[in-house]
Amino acid sequence: MILEARNISKSYGSLEVLKNVTIECHKGKIYGLIGANGAGKTTLFRILLGLIKQDCGSIEIDSQGIKPIGGIVEKPALYGYLSAFGNLKVFAQIQGLKLTKELYSQSMQQVGLSTKRTDVVKNYSLGMKQRLGLAIALLNNPECIVLDEPFSGLDPMGIIALHELIKKLSSQKQITIIISSHIVKELTDLCDTLYVLNEGEIIKKGPSAELLNASVTTYKIVGNNLEMSEVLQSINAIFSNKSAFVSPKTMSITEILQKLIEEGQEVTACIPQTDLKALFGGGKI
Amino acid sequence: MISLIRSEIYKIRKQSKTLYALAAILIIEGFVIVSAYYQGTGIIDLLLANLKDSFEFKGNLLNGNLIIYLILNSLWFHIPLILMIIISGFLTSEYKDRTLETVLLQPVSKLNFILSKYIVSIVFTLLIVLLLAVSTFFVSYWIFGRGDLVVYLDGLNFFESDEAFYRLIYAFISGANSMIFFSVVSLTLAVILKDATKTWIVSAIFLICSNLLLKIDFQNEFLNELFFSKLTDSWQYFFYYKIPYSTIYFKNFMLFGYTLITMIIGIIIFKRRDIQL
């Protein structure tokens, strides 16, 4: 185990932000932390990264490196008046690293950034800042990386690129990655294990696919003329723009799809809809 | 620690506000010189109006030494104010841009980080005072030449040119200690308040109150001698006819003590606080 946070609690006055939170992370795996706004995700990450102190509980990181853990909390915070080189130079220097040309090229290439840009970072897009923030987090080769809402504010292409980068870091460099996100789909595709945090407590944990499947109550069926289907009408499907939303009760989704095919309906897609309320334990979304 | 200090210096060099600070100081200096150039004779006439009836003055009293003394007086308010704004910004900008978080996500101790800020602030202050002194001496002597210095301090004091030169140098050195005190106070205020605007306002109020309290007699010997506001004017003592060295040493020593205490308070607060922006 590379990281173990046990029974972490944190309060601000009478407000209990985290209550006995325990998470365990293994080398080279990707972990997702999901929860509604105010569930305590960022507070937990700040504690893991040592920015704030927990009231009680312990954190153990099994690493002999200079920098056991790195990360980005919320948006990447960089020196806007410096170039990418300047930023990497400052953050390398403060941890005793000399930013050689080789290290600069390697750091930039690792996160898919060009070394040709010499302008100041305030001109960069959010996606580029995320990448540069990640390059800084990766300086001194931490064995664990914490990324708080890394997809927030990124365009679809940016999300795909970051997604691939995170997978590469996990598989090729065996870095343990802990991510929080509101975007359930991103975490499902990316994470091996999910933790669900609700009102400061871990209410669910387990393999991502299992956890999300258990929270699927509705399916979106896409096809032509679905409104005409007697099968869908009989199970009170809700129709909307060439789609039907069904919540199987008397029969399974497999049976519904089979009957639709028998009926001669052309079904082009069947997308499980995660019930976020069920997943988040009824918290505010 | 050295690497932290070097990175702080690198950041200061790259920030445009550093240039604004340097420009502001040179503008103040230029403003005094231009004013003196056009109105200087009038000021001297006003100062010496009564004496001119009884004494005959030879040579030009509007000379480089008088201009340097006038610029030196910006140590009362203008220079410390600029220093407090710039130096508190060294930290408040890190809070505002959340770069403080990124720094402390690296293997850097909070103690070393804040200590490096204090050290760099002190070095920056010394460099600013040095710049002010060197440029002032150079420009004033170049434009106005040397000459005897006349200063009104509990009465008129006259100093020959060579004596005025070393008194002015010592005054700048002693004044640097006062400037360091105000710089350290502003950084500690930044630690406490985090927000730039709040820190500027409180720093300005601190400076104004400090100057006002300097003139107030507390009717208490202990307060009159040891209260911080009574210790920031030691550089003025070099313009008494007989320099009270023991008072100057005492004031500077005590003020340095206040500087250290203020710094320690800032370090303790910074270390104890969570990094929550």
Structure tokens at B198: 């709040």
Look at residues A183, A212, A241 and tell me which one is the last residue of a structural domain. A212
Give CA–CA dist A224/A243, Å, rounded.
Answer: 8
B85-114 tens-digit pLDDT: 999 999 999 998 889 988 988 888 889 999
What residue in B sits closest to A54 (Cα-Cα)? Answer: B274
Choose between B219 and A282: higher pLDDT.
B219
Question: Which range has highest mean pLDDT (A52-56, A105-109, A183-187, A236-240)?
Answer: A52-56
pLDDT of residue A165: 82
pLDDT at B251 over 60: yes
A30 and A155 part of one domain: yes
Give CA–CA dist B76/B179, Å, rounded.
Answer: 9
**Contact call for A140 and B106, based on CB within 8 A:** yes
Establish whether this prediction's ipTM goes over 0.90.
no
Q: Which domain holds residue A100?
A: 3-212
**Contact call for A86 and B14, based on CB within 8 A:** yes
Look at residues A169, A186, A212 and tell me which one is the last residue of a structural domain. A212
- Sign of the dihedral defined by the CA atoms of residues B178, B179, B183, B189, in that order: positive
- In three-state secondary structure terms, A282 is coil
A121 and A223 part of one domain: no
Chain centre to alpha carbon of residue A188 = 8
- In three-state secondary structure terms, A14 is coil
- Asked if residues A10 and A27 have their Cβ atoms less than 8 Å apart, the reply is no
pLDDT of residue A284: 46
Give me the DSSP letters along A161-211: HHHHHHHHHHHHH--EEEEE-S-HHHHHHH-SEEEEEETTEEEEEEEHHHH
The C-alpha angle A76, A82, A85, rounded to 5 degrees, equals 85
Q: Rounded to a whole number, what is the distance in Å from the CA of A193 to chain B's nearest CA?
A: 24
CB-CB neighbors (< 8 A) of A54 in chain B: none
- Asked if residues B239 and B167 have their Cβ atoms less than 8 Å apart, the reply is yes
Q: Rounded to a whole number, what is the distance in Å from the CA of B94 to chain A's nearest CA?
A: 9
CATH of the domain at A7: 3.40.50.300
Q: What is the mean pLDDT of residues A271-285?
A: 68
Structural domain includes residue B138 = yes
Choose between B233 and B263: higher pLDDT.
B263
Nearest beta carbon to residue A80 from set B3, B97, B101: B97
- In three-state secondary structure terms, B229 is helix
pLDDT of residue B169: 92
> Using 50, 70 and 90 to split pLDDT, how confident is the model at B206?
very high
Total of domains in chain A: 2
> In chain B, what percentage of residues exceed pLDDT 90?
31
Structural domain includes residue A284 = no
Q: Which domain holds residue B76?
A: 2-272
pLDDT of residue A113: 80
In the sheet that holds A243-246, the strands lie side by side as A238-240, A243-246, A216-224, A266-274
pLDDT of residue A217: 81
> Using 50, 70 and 90 to split pLDDT, how confident is the model at B192?
very high
pLDDT of residue B277: 59
pLDDT at A132 over 60: yes
- In three-state secondary structure terms, B109 is coil
Structural domain includes residue A222 = yes
pLDDT at B63 over 70: yes
Structural domain includes residue A285 = no
- Asked if residues B118 and B266 have their Cβ atoms less than 8 Å apart, the reply is yes
Kindly report which listed range (A224-233, B192-201, B202-211, B245-254) carries the lowest average pLDDT score: A224-233
A171 and A155 part of one domain: yes
> Using 50, 70 and 90 to split pLDDT, how confident is the model at B57?
low
Nearest beta carbon to residue A70 from set B15, B97, B105: B105
Helix, strand, coil share (%) of chain B residues, nearest 5:
80, 5, 20
**Contact call for B98 and A79, based on CB within 8 A:** no
B124-167 tens-digit pLDDT: 999 999 988 998 899 888 887 887 777 777 777 788 888 888 99
A235 and A259 part of one domain: yes
Structural domain includes residue A236 = yes
pLDDT, averaged across chain B = 85
Q: What is the mean pLDDT of residues B71-83?
A: 82
Total of domains in chain B: 1
Chain centre to alpha carbon of residue A190 = 7
pLDDT of residue B88: 92
Q: Are strands A3-12 and A56-61 parallel, antiparallel or unpaired?
A: antiparallel
Chain A contact for B163, CB < 8 A? no
A75 and A110 part of one domain: yes
Q: CA distances (Å), A163 to each of A34, A195, B155, in order?
A: 16, 19, 77
Choose between A133 and A276: higher pLDDT.
A133
Structural domain includes residue B89 = yes
CB-CB neighbors (< 8 A) of B108 in chain A: 94-95
pLDDT, averaged across chain A = 83
A152 and A193 part of one domain: yes
> Using 50, 70 and 90 to split pLDDT, how confident is the model at A285?
very low
pLDDT of residue B49: 64
Nearest beta carbon to residue B99 from set A71, A79, A137: A79
A192 and A252 part of one domain: no
pLDDT of residue B50: 64
Question: Which range has highest mean pLDDT (B10-19, B45-54, B213-222)?
Answer: B10-19
Choose between A158 and B206: higher pLDDT.
B206
> In chain A, what percentage of residues exceed pLDDT 70?
98
Nearest beta carbon to residue B102 from set A52, A78, A93: A78
**Contact call for A51 and B16, based on CB within 8 A:** no
Give CA–CA dist A188/B244, Å, rounded.
Answer: 77
A201-226 tens-digit pLDDT: 888 888 887 777 777 888 888 888 78
Residues 12-31 of B with CB under 8 A from A: 14-16
A135 and A69 part of one domain: yes
Q: CA distances (Å), A67 to each of A14, A105, B8, B108, in order?
A: 34, 21, 21, 9
The enclosing H or E element of A256 equals: helix A253-262
pLDDT at A283 over 60: no
Nearest to A199 by CA among A75, A284, A83: A284
CB-CB neighbors (< 8 A) of A133 in chain B: 102
- Asked if residues A34 and A181 have their Cβ atoms less than 8 Å apart, the reply is yes
Number of residues written out for chain B: 277
A35 and A175 part of one domain: yes
Query: Which pTM was predicted?
Result: 0.80
pLDDT of residue B118: 95
The strand ranges marked E within chain A are 3-12, 15-25, 30-35, 56-61, 69-72, 144-148, 176-180, 193-198, 201-207, 216-224, 238-240, 243-246, 266-274
Residues 6 or more apart whose Cβ sits within 8 Å of residue B227: B213, B218
Give CA–CA dist A85/A87, Å, rounded.
Answer: 5
> In chain A, what percentage of residues exceed pLDDT 90?
4
A200 and A260 part of one domain: no
pLDDT of residue A281: 65
CB-CB neighbors (< 8 A) of B105 in chain A: 49, 51, 70-73, 137
Residues 83-102 of A with CB under 8 A from B: 86, 89-91, 93-96
pLDDT at B188 over 60: yes
Nearest beta carbon to residue B7 from set A49, A94, A139: A94
- Asked if residues B92 and B192 have their Cβ atoms less than 8 Å apart, the reply is no
pLDDT of residue B130: 92
pLDDT of residue B227: 81
Contacts 24+ apart (CB under 8 A), B220-223: none
pLDDT at A109 over 70: yes
A96 and A158 part of one domain: yes
A220 and A183 part of one domain: no
pLDDT of residue B158: 80
Give me the DSSP letters along B112-132: HHHHHHHHHHHHHHHHHHHHH
Fill in the amino acid letter for A98. Answer: K
Give CA–CA dist A18/A8, Å, rounded.
Answer: 7
Give CA–CA dist A145/A175, Å, rounded.
Answer: 7
A263: number of Cβ within 10 Å: 13
pLDDT of residue A87: 93
Kindly report which listed range (A53-62, A241-250, B86-95) carries the lowest average pLDDT score: A241-250
Fill in the amino acid letter for B224. Answer: N
Nearest to A272 by CA among A190, A232, A215, A225: A215
